[in-house]
Chains A and B, each alone.
Chain A
Amino acid sequence: MSRTVGRLYTFLIFLFLYAPILVLIVFSFNDTETASRTVFSGFSLKWYEKLFEDRLILEALRNTLIIAVAAAAASTVLGTMAAIGINSLKRLPKRVMMNITNFPMVNPEIVTGVSMMLLFVFAVGVFGGRSLGMGSIIAAHITFCLPYVILQVLPKLRQMDPALYEAAQDLGCPPVKAFFKVVLPEIMPGIVTGMIMAFTLSIDDFVISYFTSGTTQTLPIYIYSMTRKRVSPEINALSTVMFAAVMVLLIIVNVRSSNSGERAGKGGGQG
């Protein structure tokens, strides 16, 4: 009895999680003239065709991806360095630093967005630039992604035995090499998770981008601007493509890690 209840509960949870995506995917194949979001009138790929003809959407997507990749890469490097630094601090300064880095996470996005816009506008004025754009939006995204990366990397560093690094140096390994050979592989899972988080946070950020984007348009801003008319099912098609891409990526990563895990388990693998 309690088992069926448990299953039902799990089923309901997954239903609520995935029903919206399912509806979105189904309606991306809707064959309708009016771009209806309520009546399904047959299967067609026309929204996908339109999507790949629509230069504005593709341009917005390109901007979004450039920003996400740049922000994820930069914040991962900076965040990892910061985590290593914080980890080697004494107890009190460590707590102070953690609070400072956590602050942007709990700060309402709109406050971050507006304050960054004011800062950038001021900087543009001082340095004689014309306008905010790609540069300012990437800087903003790096800023709000940083704490998430630090939070992912720090626990891994804490789990690691500091003696390993010292042992490597005792055995004649130069510090830099010891870091790349010993520390980095240990904390890699945290870095990868942090990077993926930064990437996804950057892709779907609207509020901060809205204020700091200047004349650059990202996908969320473009979609929002469609609301006077109606959000076109091209967006359903695009979301479906993105969902599928992420899905495939996750499956590949999981299969690979479980494969290497098996090999390691059998005792012969390099990991």
Chain B
Amino acid sequence: MKRIFALLLAMLLLAPGAAAAEYDPDVTINVYSWGEYIANGTDGSMDINAEFTRRTGIKVNYTTFDSNESLYSKLVGGGADYDVIVPSDYMVSRLIDEGMLLPLDYENIPNYQYIDEQFRSPGYDPEEKYSVPYTWGVVGVFYNTRYIDEVTSWESLWNDEYAGKILMFDNPRDSFAIAQFLLGQDVNTTDPEEWRAAADLLKAQKPLVQAYVMDQIFDKMESGEAWIAPYYAGDAAILVDNSEDIDFAVPKEGTNFFVDAMCVPKTASHKREAEEYINFLCEPEISGANMDYVGYSTPETAAREYLDPEVAESPLHYPDAETIARTQIFVNLPGETSKQVDQLWAEVKMGGPGESAVLVAIILGFLGVYIAIIVYKRRKRKRELA
């Protein structure tokens, strides 16, 4: 009897605490993030999602996408109620513009205080209402020191001595940005002339480029098939770590500084629990353990002490203030401009306009063959009958 009384008392004492926490520990939240973008317990890392469930009881259904555009189409298509998504900077601003995100309740995310000053009021979310940075990084140039002495400028990607050994990004934003830095433009410009100038520069580069690739750069650089390639520092750090010949540089003209941020889409059914998850990922210890595995940079200085000291000191992961001062961040481009960019990118990759003419020619060719076959068969039949 006494014991039951004590238990009741204890429950009474606990009750206010539970009320303050407010979240429902019995739900499952749907998280949609990049592939291989969280520590998952392999290689002695921390299993972040399991740890979150252990602490809060909230289960995590963690699913992954390959590009911002996939994420966008999935959100727009409907039929998926994600609670936490991790788009990149320009996609965050696009989702904000289109009213597809819920404003966050930062009181539920006390760990937001650890986010460094440098990431506050970012260009893609100037009012700091919808997003919490997850990772960040810069784009730089990876090169093989056996063939290339030093890289200081994006011009190296236009050097004909390296013809056939150059790789480029296979997406318009990142590729155009490189040309834009060389031309000294703003990467978010809306001037059609400037975009055209950048496209011309990329067209001039095309004969030298071995391939427009994304993840194949790992194999191509490692095997020496390609000598020089721009890529995201965090992803490609493994190349530098594992190969004596491969080095990394941030060109002097400046570079793209990117942030992947956590947001809650409008269709979310568990916003409160989603905020709990975001808060958990912002905990310095968790962020440190997570980034130690992922290889990207944490936006929290406080988290760096949980990292491998070599990584925390590395300019590849944490470039100095002077480098960062030269960077620019992508924001969403207005519809007109992004249409133009897509068109120009198609021109760059396919070698000029007139694709529709080619298409029509191909279709006409097929049609001709088809008609020829029919005519031939008719004649044959007639001859046989005769």
Q: Which of A's residues lie within 8 Å of B, judged by CB? A: 33-39, 50, 53-56, 117, 120-121, 124-125, 130-132, 136, 211, 214-217, 221-222, 224-232
Is B56 in the interface zone, CB < 8 Å from A?
no
Q: Are B42 and A54 in contact (CB-based, < 8 A)?
A: yes
Q: Are A50 and B235 in contact (CB-based, < 8 A)?
A: no
B35 nearest in chain A by CB position:
A225
Known: A121-B77, A132-B79, A215-B80. A37 touches B65 (CB 8 A): no
15 contacts between A and B (CB under 8 A): A36-B219, A36-B222, A50-B42, A130-B269, A131-B81, A132-B80, A136-B79, A215-B80, A217-B63, A225-B65, A226-B35, A228-B36, A228-B67, A228-B215, A229-B215
Known: A39-B223, A56-B62, A225-B65. A231 touches B215 (CB 8 A): yes
Contact with A along B54-82 (1 / 0, CB 8 A): 00000001111111001000000111111
Q: Are B50 and A55 in contact (CB-based, < 8 A)?
A: yes
B236 nearest in chain A by CB position:
A229
Q: Are B40 and A54 in contact (CB-based, < 8 A)?
A: yes
Contacts of A215 in B (CB 8 A): 30, 32, 61, 63, 80-82
A211 nearest in chain B by CB position:
B77
Q: Are B35 and A229 in contact (CB-based, < 8 A)?
A: yes
Q: Are A229 and B42 in contact (CB-based, < 8 A)?
A: no
From A125, A211, A228, give the contact of B235 (CB < 8 A): A228
Is B34 in the interface zone, CB < 8 Å from A?
yes
How distant is the Cα of A39 from the Cα of B139 in the complex, in angstroms?
Answer: 26
Prevailing SS type, chain B contact patch? mixed
How distant is the Cα of A265 from the Cα of B223 in the complex, in angstroms?
Answer: 58
Contacts of B65 in A (CB 8 A): 225
Is B238 in the interface zone, CB < 8 Å from A?
yes
Q: Are B66 and A227 in contact (CB-based, < 8 A)?
A: yes
Contacts of B50 in A (CB 8 A): 55
How distant is the Cα of A117 from the Cα of B269 in the complex, in angstroms?
Answer: 20
Contacts of A132 in B (CB 8 A): 79-80
Known: A215-B61, A225-B66, A228-B215. A54 touches B41 (CB 8 A): yes
Contacts of A39 in B (CB 8 A): 222-223
Q: Are A34 and B218 in contact (CB-based, < 8 A)?
A: yes
How distant is the Cα of A84 from the Cα of B40 in the complex, in angstroms?
Answer: 49
Contacts of B43 in A (CB 8 A): 50
How distant is the Cα of A136 from the Cα of B219 in the complex, in angstroms?
Answer: 38
Q: Are A33 and B242 in contact (CB-based, < 8 A)?
A: yes
Q: Are A214 and B215 in contact (CB-based, < 8 A)?
A: no
Contacts of B47 in A (CB 8 A): 55
B81 nearest in chain A by CB position:
A131
Known: A222-B35, A232-B36. A38 touches B81 (CB 8 A): no
Is B214 in the interface zone, CB < 8 Å from A?
yes
A124 nearest in chain B by CB position:
B79
Contacts of B228 in A (CB 8 A): none
From A37, A54, A214, give the contact of B80 (CB < 8 A): A214
Is B239 in the interface zone, CB < 8 Å from A?
yes
For the complex of A and B, the 6 pairs showing the least CB-CB separation, nearest first, are A225-B35, A225-B64, A132-B79, A217-B63, A121-B79, A131-B81
How many pairs of A and B residues are in contact by the CB < 8 Å rule?
106
Contacts of A224 in B (CB 8 A): 35, 66
Q: Are A34 and B79 in contact (CB-based, < 8 A)?
A: no
Q: Are B35 and A227 in contact (CB-based, < 8 A)?
A: yes
Q: Are A56 and B40 in contact (CB-based, < 8 A)?
A: yes
Given contacts A215-B80, A222-B64, A224-B35, 17 further A-B contacts (CB under 8 A): A34-B238, A36-B219, A37-B219, A39-B222, A50-B43, A55-B41, A130-B81, A131-B81, A214-B80, A215-B82, A216-B63, A217-B64, A225-B35, A228-B67, A228-B215, A228-B235, A230-B219
Known: A53-B42, A230-B215, A230-B218. A117 touches B77 (CB 8 A): yes
A52 nearest in chain B by CB position:
B42
How distant is the Cα of A153 from the Cα of B77 in the complex, in angstroms?
Answer: 37
Contacts of A225 in B (CB 8 A): 34-35, 64-66, 70
Contacts of B32 in A (CB 8 A): 215
How distant is the Cα of A215 from the Cα of B62 in the complex, in angstroms?
Answer: 9
How distant is the Cα of A120 from the Cα of B77 in the complex, in angstroms?
Answer: 11
How distant is the Cα of A132 from the Cα of B77 in the complex, in angstroms?
Answer: 11
How distant is the Cα of A230 from the Cα of B70 in the complex, in angstroms?
Answer: 17
Contacts of B77 in A (CB 8 A): 117, 121, 211
How distant is the Cα of A124 from the Cα of B235 in the complex, in angstroms?
Answer: 38
How distant is the Cα of A37 from the Cα of B49 in the complex, in angstroms?
Answer: 29
How distant is the Cα of A50 from the Cα of B79 in the complex, in angstroms?
Answer: 33
Shortest distance in angstroms between B47's beta carbon and chain A's nearest beta carbon? 7
How distant is the Cα of A121 from the Cα of B42 in the complex, in angstroms?
Answer: 36
How distant is the Cα of A124 from the Cα of B80 in the complex, in angstroms?
Answer: 10
How distant is the Cα of A54 from the Cα of B50 in the complex, in angstroms?
Answer: 12
Q: Are B214 and A228 in contact (CB-based, < 8 A)?
A: yes
Q: Are B79 and A214 in contact (CB-based, < 8 A)?
A: yes
How distant is the Cα of A121 from the Cα of B79 in the complex, in angstroms?
Answer: 5
B70 nearest in chain A by CB position:
A225
Known: A121-B78, A130-B269. A229 touches B219 (CB 8 A): no
